């Protein structure tokens, strides 16, 4: 099954990634990808969809989905280095996967989040993503 990054959320102050399940009276019902535990997240929480995140490069911003696809092509079936890895290991990974990343605006702290999210998606969802074209076609059919 393909992963729809529009429904995968990062919630400020909460570890891991969450799948948007439904709207609730006081917020949103989300399910942790790693534990499958559902909870109600208040609307005051800062929730960011994975489809809205991009990484700075020297030329432009690249969507996180593209970065994940490049990481998967580079790493194959292996996990990405741990978020607790040496910063030099993380920098080396991104220099191979995304050689034009902006070294002034894409920090090691951002790299840690990206590799953590990549590993969560790889181990608990799918790295086969719904493309923008598929999303457009699906909405036109409705």
Nearest to 118 by CA among 80, 73, 84, 86: 80
Which residue bears the tokens 């080396």?
A: 92
Confidence of residue 133 (pLDDT cuts 50, 70, 90): low
- What domains does the chain contain, in order, with CATH numbers? 53-124 (1.10.10.1650)
User: Which tokens sit at 116?
Assistant: 């953590």
Pick from 44-48, 59-63, 98-102, 128-132: least confident? 128-132
Contact (CB, 8 A) for 89 and 79: no
**Given this model, what pLDDT does residue 101 score?**
94
User: Which tokens sit at 123?
Assistant: 């181990």
**pLDDT, tens digit (0-9, with 9 covering 90-100), for 109-131:** 999 999 999 999 999 988 888 87
pTM: 0.87
Cα(60)–Cα(133) distance, rounded to whole angstroms? Answer: 21
């Amino acid at each position: 099954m393909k992963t729809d990054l529009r429904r995968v959320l990062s919630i400020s102050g909460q570890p891991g990634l969450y799948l948007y399940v439904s709207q609730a009276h006081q917020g949103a019902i989300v399910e942790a990808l790693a534990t499958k535990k559902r909870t109600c997240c208040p609307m005051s929480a800062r929730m960011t969809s994975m489809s809205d995140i991009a990484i700075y490069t020297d030329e432009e911003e690249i969507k996180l989905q593209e970065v994940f696809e490049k990481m998967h092509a580079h790493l194959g079936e292996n996990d990405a280095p741990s978020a607790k890895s040496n910063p030099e290991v993380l920098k080396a990974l991104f220099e191979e996967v995304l050689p034009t990343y902006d070294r002034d605006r894409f920090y090691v702290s951002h790299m840690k989040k990206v590799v953590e999210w990549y590993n969560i998606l790889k181990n608990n969802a799918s790295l086969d993503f719904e493309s923008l074209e598929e999303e457009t076609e699906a909405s036109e059919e409705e």
